[in-house]
A and B are shown apart, each in its own frame.
Chain A
Amino acid sequence: MQFMLLFSRQGKLRLQKWYVPLSDKEKKKITRELVQTVLARKPKMCSFLEWRDLKIVYKRYASLYFCCAIEDQDNELITLEIIHRYVELLDKYFGSVCELDIIFNFEKAYFILDEFLLGGEAQETSKKNVLKAIEQADLLQEVSTEVYYHHCKATAIGVHHRVFGLSL
């Protein structure tokens, strides 16, 4: 897979993940062009689209379009299932996911995507395992934020304040 885009029916980009190195300008151009093309398609049309030398696989869930770009020799149906599994994962994590969830918790959406897809290939297809990993990451984040404050107070070397101050 070369990239994945999520955008709303109004054409607002909600999530993007690129698995090929492209310049920001190029990314913007592609996004604009694709959003236009996909939104112009009618609901009954097929989910595949030949675009440039790539194949676009897209699917609409409620108000969101999930759109993946794959190479010519890739399997379109399995890509459709990748999208579906991702939606299932989001749904399970957020509990009947809606567009707002993704807008406000975009980093979670990214985390889930990263647990599921790696370098554009499905690496973990089990729903259970992905969600377990995310929960652990959540836990880790909570603990480390707590620790972080303690640490700031306790540390005696002034320099540490400076170092960590940068990351605040």
Chain B
Amino acid sequence: MSDVVEKTLTALPALFDSQTGAAKITNRLRQLIKSITELTSKHEEENLIKQELSAMKEQVSSPNTTMKQMREIMVRAMYCEMLGYDASFTYIHAIKLAQQGGVLEKREEENLIKQELSAMKEQVSSPNTTMKQMREIMVRAMYCEMLGYDASFTYIHAIKLAQQGGVLEKRVGTFTPHFHSSPYITSITHAQEIIRRKAVLALYKFYLIAPNQVQHIHAKFRKALCDKDPGVMTSSLHIYLQLIRESPDSYKDLTGSFVTILKQVVGGKLPLDFNYHSVPAPWLQIQLLRILSLLGKEDQSTSELMYEVLDESLRRAEMNHNITYAILYECVKAVYTIHPKAELLEKAARCIGNFVLSPKINLKYLGLKALTYVVQHDAKLALQHQMTIIECLDHSDFTIKRETLELLFRITNAQNVTVIVEKMLDFLRSCNDEHTIIHLVGKVAELAEKFAPDNSWFIQTMNDVFSIGGDLLQQDVPNNFLRLLAEGSESKEEDDQLRLYAVDSYLTVLKGHTSHLPQCFLQVMSWVLGEYAHLQESVDQREVIRLLTQLLDQRSVSSETRVWILSALTKISEGQTDLILDLAESLSSSQDTVLRQQAQELRHLSQESQLHEWALPRGAPWDGIEVDSSLSFLDGFVSEALAAGAAPYKPPHQRQEELCEDRALNLEPYGFSLPVSLSSCSITDRQSPTLLSVSSGLSGNSTELSQKAGCLILEGVKRVWGKDGYLPQKKRSTPPVDEPSAAVQPPGQQEAAERIEPRPDPLTQNQDKQQLASSLFVGLGVGSAMSLLGKSEAPPPRFRKKPHPHESSSSSSSGTSERSSDSSSRSSRNTTNSFLYGSLLEKEPATSISAFDHTPKSTTANGLAQNKDTKEDRRANTSQILGGDMVIVRPSTIQDKHPPSVSSDLTALLPADLKDLPHSDVISLTSDPSLSLSSCRLFRDEALLLVIFISNCTETVIKDVAVQLTCEELKTVSLRGNVVDCLEARSTSVCHYALLMDDPHTNVSFTGTVSYQTQPGHTNTLPFSGTLSTADFIRPLVVTTEEYGKLWLSLSHDVKQNLKLLTDAGDPLRTTLNSLKDALQLHVVDIIGSEGIVACRLLSGAPCLLHCRVNGTALAMWLRSPHPALPDCILYHCQRALAHH
């Protein structure tokens, strides 16, 4: 910070004699300023600036503009920007200029920028600056930064802004193509550690928001990890924690480093600045412990590396302070996460004891949390603390209680389930926090399904779940319950008993007060009664119908529930025509069209018993129902309608997209001429109905529902989506839930009474607790180790009944499990990605993958080529600050050995599988007396292969030849043969890099070094460099004219430009296109009259479509691509190709 101040102070005198600044301002700018000062109104100013800007825009895009003019434009643009107008189009040119260097000496610019900077400085430190102003300042600062000035004082503010969200995404979006020049990345190497630290944290946020955008800088993360400032290293751990959480396997090689760092920290090797209440760098320790536990999970060899340091941490953290407890807690978690070691487990268990028994309530909470985590691995631990747990169960603090229940949930087994579920329900009745209710009710339902001792208990508990959870319940709780009832187990008798019991209990509930029951419960009841009421012979069906009809009359019943009730009535209506006809009559005038339709159906079905029998067979096996989810029976109808000229169905999202395109559509040359083919329509047709009916199957309604019109199905679906819309409202209107069953006594009251009572007899009270303990912890002891094992190792079937394969997946209702599955799916996606790259691009998947595993750099997701410098840097740096022994992972070598060849044609040396690929000429890269390097480009469909031939020009053997290639803009997906142990005399070795270009750049340059040893211990290095152009990465895109037309409409970024037309032949258009095709590997799709369409793509990625039209002596080229920068690049190369011609 201090040198920023210094710089500012030295820059300040220049500002006082602003005469100099004014005198040197360029003529154009002076004119502009003059005319602006002469203006009288804001409106005039706006117009003038607009003109100015458009003139500038023209100039910058014209190829004839000289450097000097460009510079001048930049100054003017900056001036416009200062006045608050948007001149963002010049940024990119500014960067270009800045990269070319030299420009910056210009004093006027410097002065202007200094003024700009100091103005900014004032603004940012003024508390009155609004967010919007601040944002604008940041853009300006970034711009100055791009010009090479030090605007580092704004980083802090930029980051501040970034934290507040919003801007950040915008920034990432705006600057993605120029991300390399983003100040954050450059500032990673900034001299001041505070800036580096902030930059790393900012990158962490970038990573969280858009992981793909920072893939290419994973190497920089490593640099940050090895930074000599421990603060920067600490910041980089955030990124690593995230990376490792996603794919722990790729970072196993870092375990050694992390362990060493932790050892140093625990050993107190860090400067005192990092101490917090005399504990060395607790934040760092916790971060490291987390990383280690992720790395050591289910991996014995990695875990073994960390036993020692974990032991040390446990031992060191003795002091009685919150911060040490925080570290201990992480330690314990780590010990239980990694591959177990008995000695450590014992110590960790003792630590947990300290937590749980602590009088401090915060520690107690953490102890419970740790215990909850630990009992998954060792349920016996809970036994030691049973009395504490019982106490916590009655604790006055809600948080503690809830955590205790969480713990109990983990130790539930078939023997203690009733007690635990009762406790949970008690808690739920006194709880009024929505999230807690949703969370816990799901757990109760899960326990009930898993461990229910008998039918009546199960149904009773589920009744409680439904009435307490009400409409907050996650949809899959009732779904699972109904499926369980419907599908049943092997024994029909048992099933029927359960169903019978459910029917009985629901009839009892319905006979009582029903107005307070949640809709969800009513729906479940009506479904069960509809399906199974006939099982109960002692009850008159008319009674059931009467009860259900009664529900229909209630105001509080939602229309969706009415639909459920009506379909239940339809099922049991057989033979009760008189009642039903009355009902149908009264409903046929209902406002609700769905109800009216159902009433009609009801009437027809009750009149025709045969039809009823056929549509709703009683007691039909559940799995006999087939749903045609593709609605194929409608195909005939659809094709007829299409033939008659109806518009094809489009799913809503497609409609939306097209709506957006509509504005651009007017300009489309292809919009009207392309007939939409019928086949593709019917495919899109299918998508949405399938989705709908699948979810209708879930809602578990009867055959009739799935057969009849889609509106019923929609009804079932709507429920899920409408949830946040109106459910909270409903919740408020629901009066406090009464206990619907008499079987369970109201323990909430009892407990309250107990609490109020002075409790005169501590002995009996203690006895009560003992009793409770024995009932809670039954089945956890040594005697019943069987059930314990059953729980922790092989989870018992989720359902008491016959488990169906799909049930277990759908019944994970709790929030946590959802989250974990979420993250696992994310990580699996990640691995698939890297796997895809690995196997797709390398023809020898096995070897390439092994290369991925062993080469440290390739294991980072982007797989940049290993840069030895960085690695050595890292090694040196870390050991420098930490003085520890790092585990050095040497890249394993894969070599391609070739018999020495005398042939001068190097391409003959290519591996057999590459020989057939189209390739460029061999160019010499560099040479010295002993080695010569040449390269050749091979065009593979999905990648560019850069082949480097390393030839030994001497008569002696050259050892340890290693090629390092770096290119910031490109991605190396695989490399082979970059390390050769021994290169025979006069022989040539081949190494090749498969390169990908994600963001198009007109030209990219690569640099690299070859290191080799002619004598042992004497390493020579030979640098080389070269350029690749986008043209190397372009592949023809073979499409038909129709496909082209469709694709054209879907692309968003377009560029238009007039090009030179080659007029020397008879057919200028064809000649021009053919020469372009030869130069750039394009695919000429079609040529019609004076128009031609051409397609290409960037490797196997973004397509680019070119539309060419002869316009006098010029060729009007119109390019479109989903990628913003691609058309520009291709245009550039087209221009060049034509110019060369």
Contacts and interface: CB of A to CB of B under 8 A. Distances in A.
Interface of A: 17-22, 42, 44-53, 72, 75-78, 80-81, 84-85, 107, 114, 118-126, 128-129, 132-133, 136-137, 139-141, 143-145, 147-148, 150-151, 154-160, 163-164, 166-167
Interface string B1-28: 1101100110010011111001000000
Contacts of A81: 276, 282, 322-323, 326
A126 B273 contact: yes
Contact of A136 (B2, B16, B164, B198): B2
Interface in B441-487: none
A159 B33 contact: yes
Contacts of B235: 121, 123
B1071 interface: no
Contacts of A132: 1
A75 B273 contact: no
Interface stretch (B124-132, B725-733, B1052-1060, B1106-1114): B124-132
15 contacts: A42-B396, A46-B362, A46-B399, A47-B362, A48-B362, A78-B282, A78-B323, A85-B276, A107-B127, A119-B205, A120-B163, A139-B5, A151-B16, A156-B18, A159-B36
A47 B282 CA distance: 20
Contacts of A164: 119
Given A78-B286, A159-B33, A46 B19 contact: no
Contact of A125 (B153, B160, B283, B365): B283
A50 B119 contact: no
A45 to B, nearest CB: 4
Q: Which 3 A-B pairs have the closest CB atoms?
A: A21-B165, A77-B326, A46-B361
Contact of B18 (A52, A122, A128, A155): A155
A17 B164 CA distance: 8
Given A121-B238, A123-B231, A144 B121 contact: yes
B276 A46 contact: no
A75 B283 CA distance: 10
B436 interface: yes
Most buried by A among B82, B276, B325, B364: B276
Nearest to A164: B119
Contacts of B598: none
A51 B435 contact: yes
B201 A118 contact: yes
Interface in B176-200: 194, 197-198
A124 B194 contact: yes
Contacts of B819: 72
B438 to A, nearest CB: 10
Contacts of A126: 273-274
B572 interface: no
Given A22-B165, A125-B281, A147-B12, A50 B273 contact: no
B171 to A, nearest CB: 13
Most buried by A among B17, B129, B397: B397
A69 B286 CA distance: 18
B37 interface: yes
Nearest to A53: B815
Contacts of A128: 273
B580 interface: no
Given A19-B163, A46-B362, A80-B362, A75 B198 contact: no
B362 A77 contact: yes
A20 B166 CA distance: 9
B1090 to A, nearest CB: 51
A3 to B, nearest CB: 10
A78 B33 CA distance: 57
Given A154-B18, A167-B129, A119 B204 contact: yes
Given A77-B326, A121-B204, A141-B125, 18 more contacts: A72-B816, A76-B366, A78-B286, A85-B276, A118-B197, A119-B205, A121-B238, A126-B273, A129-B273, A143-B9, A144-B121, A147-B12, A151-B16, A154-B16, A154-B17, A157-B22, A158-B37, A163-B119
B984 interface: no
A106 to B, nearest CB: 9
Contacts of A19: 163, 165
B397 A52 contact: no
A125 B284 CA distance: 10
B165 A46 contact: no
A167 B122 contact: yes
A1 B201 CA distance: 13
A155 B112 CA distance: 13
A26 B121 CA distance: 32
B216 interface: no
A49 to B, nearest CB: 6
B1034 interface: no
Given A121-B235, A124-B194, A163 B125 contact: no
B361 A147 contact: no
A157 B323 CA distance: 58
Contacts of A151: 15-16, 118
A114 B194 CA distance: 12
A16 to B, nearest CB: 11
A100 to B, nearest CB: 18
Most buried by A among B162, B164, B197, B400: B164
A19 B133 CA distance: 20
Contact of B16 (A121, A141, A148, A150): A150
A120 B204 CA distance: 11
A140 B323 CA distance: 35
A78 B362 CA distance: 12
Contacts of B286: 75, 78
Nearest to A118: B201
B364 to A, nearest CB: 7
Nearest to A73: B290
B1043 to A, nearest CB: 39
B165 A18 contact: yes
B197 to A, nearest CB: 6
A119 B122 contact: no
Contacts of B361: 44-46
A157 B330 CA distance: 62
Contacts of B17: 154
B376 interface: no
Interface string B316-337: 0000001101100110000000
A88 B863 CA distance: 45
Most buried by B among A147, A158, A164: A147
Most buried by A among B22, B122, B364, B396: B122
A76 B15 contact: no
B819 to A, nearest CB: 8
A38 to B, nearest CB: 12
A21 B118 contact: no
A50 B283 CA distance: 23
B201 A156 contact: no
Interface in B798-850: 815-816, 819
A81 B362 CA distance: 12
B514 interface: no
A77 B82 contact: no
A50 to B, nearest CB: 6
A125 B126 contact: no
B356 to A, nearest CB: 13
Interface string B82-126: 111000000000000000000000000000000100110111011
A20 B164 CA distance: 7
Contacts of B436: 50
Contacts of A107: 127
Contacts of A166: 84
B990 to A, nearest CB: 46
B159 interface: yes
A59 to B, nearest CB: 10
Given A22-B165, A123-B231, A136 B18 contact: no
A98 to B, nearest CB: 21
B204 A140 contact: no
B210 interface: no
Contacts of B398: 45
